[in-house]
A and B are shown apart, each in its own frame.
Chain A
Amino acid sequence: MGGQGPQPEPGEDDTLVARSQRGEVAAFNLLVARYQDVAYALAYRMLGDAEAAADVTQDGFVAAFRAIRTFRGGPFRAWLLRIISNGCHDYWRAQKRRPTLSLDALTSEDPEGDPPHGPMGLLAASATWDPEKTALRGELIELIQRALLGLPAEQRLAVVLSDVQGFAYDEIALIMATSLGTVKSRIARGRAHLRDALQAHAELLPTMKRRTDDLE
């Protein structure tokens, strides 16, 4: 998992939120600086498109600031990411198409073929991307992202938050405004769908490091 690290000091967020509620843009911009990476990464993994992700992120921060006085405490990050994920939904609605491939199309398609989205350029520029890694890894990343885009939106959100971004179940439940049980089952179903989609490309999977410590 990516791992989001520990929650930032809630006190700090609260202070900045309170100042933002008095109209201090500078204080709000400190929150922007703190959370823009995680917000953008979420939008990017949800949409599979760098430009759309940047638009949704920017609009999300504007909407968050304008609505900051309706924020009634709780973790600011979860509130913000809820706005961002709603923005992703709205983006799809506005596009009148979902940037998805059906799982069938994914599993039957030649992975060498022309990719419908072009995240590779973006990945090369991202902080965690190591260009020294083999092309195999790039191909795998491409494959997983496309499989993600084939998931129903709610499963995709749950899986991205959990397994890509490393959020705990309770924060995911806050972001998705639903119960822990629903989160649990969305994650499980999303993983099962992905398993089916990726199984057709099993030859790529053994190259990944196994996580054997989970059950210990």
Chain B
Amino acid sequence: MSTHVPEHLADWEAQRDRLSALLDGQLSAAEAAVQRAHVAGCARCTEELEALRRVVSALGELPQPAAPRSFALPLTTALPAGAPAQLPIAAARARRLRWAAVTQWAGAVAACFGFVILSGTFLLGSGYAQKSMANFGAARHEPSGAGITSASQPPATTATPDRSMDATSLTPRAATGSAATATLTPAPTAAPTERTPLAAEPPDARAAARTTGVTLMLGGLAALVVGWGARRRGPPR
């Protein structure tokens, strides 16, 4: 009957969806009319429709078992106090997603910090800072860069020698113990005319900062990836 080449040969799955919907009266009147006319002239669709109808009919044969007992709740059952309980599934999922989001954002922030610190140390280690450091070294009559080897070196090298301790009346032990503080706030008495704040950073602190930066950045990136992955996973619902 129908002579047009049906597009269902190209997309059989979509046609099967349509036939299934036709069976359930889920097509619009116009669509249904088109499909009926087509099925009448198409052996494959006639067969498919008949097969689907048999399946639906077979499924309708399945008895629906009645509840084997009462599922009534004990009258003593209480609603959870306080905030209304979420469904257990929804609540667990929400918790997981919340933690994943926190991990992800904390990771992103940490990675940014790490990057800033790291690029800061590189800036300091080159150009302008180098010049300043040279000035610093000259002013203090000792070569800079001596302590650049590693952060695990004795921190005594990071502290400015005797004079700063004299001036601030710190014991040597305390001065070495707070190397970071000392580097951030250099002793004001040490050659004040020659020094710029940037240049005040002793090389060993740069190494330490660099290590911190790398650690923060890598750790942050790892947390970012873990959090992102956890948010992508999770149940399909």
Q: Interface code B49-75, partner A: CB below 8 Å = 1, 0 otherwise?
A: 001111111111111111111111111
The CB with the most chain B CB atoms within 10 A, among A38, A164, A210, is that of A164
Tell me if A28 and B16 are in contact (CB < 8 A).
Answer: no
Given contacts A28-B73, A57-B71, A141-B62, contact A191 B56 (CB under 8 A): yes
Q: Which residues of B contact A62 (CB under 8 A)?
A: 73, 77
Complex Cα distance, B71 from A41, in Å, reads 13
Tell me if A129 and B73 are in contact (CB < 8 A).
Answer: no
Which of chain B's residues has its CB closest to A40's CB? B67
Interface: B86 (CB within 8 A): yes
Tell me if A188 and B21 are in contact (CB < 8 A).
Answer: yes
Number of A-B contacts defined by CB within 8 Å: 186
Tell me if A141 and B61 are in contact (CB < 8 A).
Answer: yes
Interface: B78 (CB within 8 A): yes
Complex Cα distance, B71 from A44, in Å, reads 14
Q: Is the interface of B mostly helix, strand, loop or mixed?
A: loop
Tell me if A214 and B86 are in contact (CB < 8 A).
Answer: no
Segment with Cβ contacts to A, from B22-30, B128-136, B200-208, B223-231: B22-30
Q: Interface code A17-44, partner B: CB below 8 Å = 1, 0 otherwise?
A: 0000101011011001100111111001
Which of chain A's residues has its CB closest to B56's CB? A163
Interface: B84 (CB within 8 A): yes
Interface: A66 (CB within 8 A): yes
Interface: A209 (CB within 8 A): yes
Interface: A187 (CB within 8 A): yes
Tell me if A210 and B53 are in contact (CB < 8 A).
Answer: yes
Closest CB in chain B relative to A167 CB, distance in Å? 11
Size of chain B's interface in residues, with CB distance under 8 A? Answer: 51
Tell me if A32 and B65 are in contact (CB < 8 A).
Answer: no
Interface residues of A (CB under 8 A from B): 1-2, 21, 23, 25-26, 28-29, 32-33, 36-41, 44-45, 50, 54, 57-58, 61-63, 65-70, 83, 86, 89-90, 122-123, 125-129, 137, 140-141, 144-145, 148, 159, 162-166, 169, 177, 184-185, 187-189, 191-192, 194-195, 198-199, 205, 208-211, 214-215
Tell me if B20 and A177 are in contact (CB < 8 A).
Answer: no
Tell me if A58 and B71 are in contact (CB < 8 A).
Answer: yes
A-B contact pairs, 6 of them (CB 8 A): A2-B60, A23-B78, A25-B73, A67-B85, A189-B16, A195-B54
Tell me if B75 and A44 are in contact (CB < 8 A).
Answer: no
Tell me if B58 and A205 are in contact (CB < 8 A).
Answer: yes
Given contacts A187-B20, A215-B22, contact A195 B87 (CB under 8 A): no
Tell me if B75 and A169 are in contact (CB < 8 A).
Answer: no
Given contacts A40-B67, A126-B65, A127-B66, contact A185 B17 (CB under 8 A): yes
Which of chain B's residues has its CB closest to A181's CB? B17
Contact of B60 among A37, A145, A163 (CB under 8 A): A163
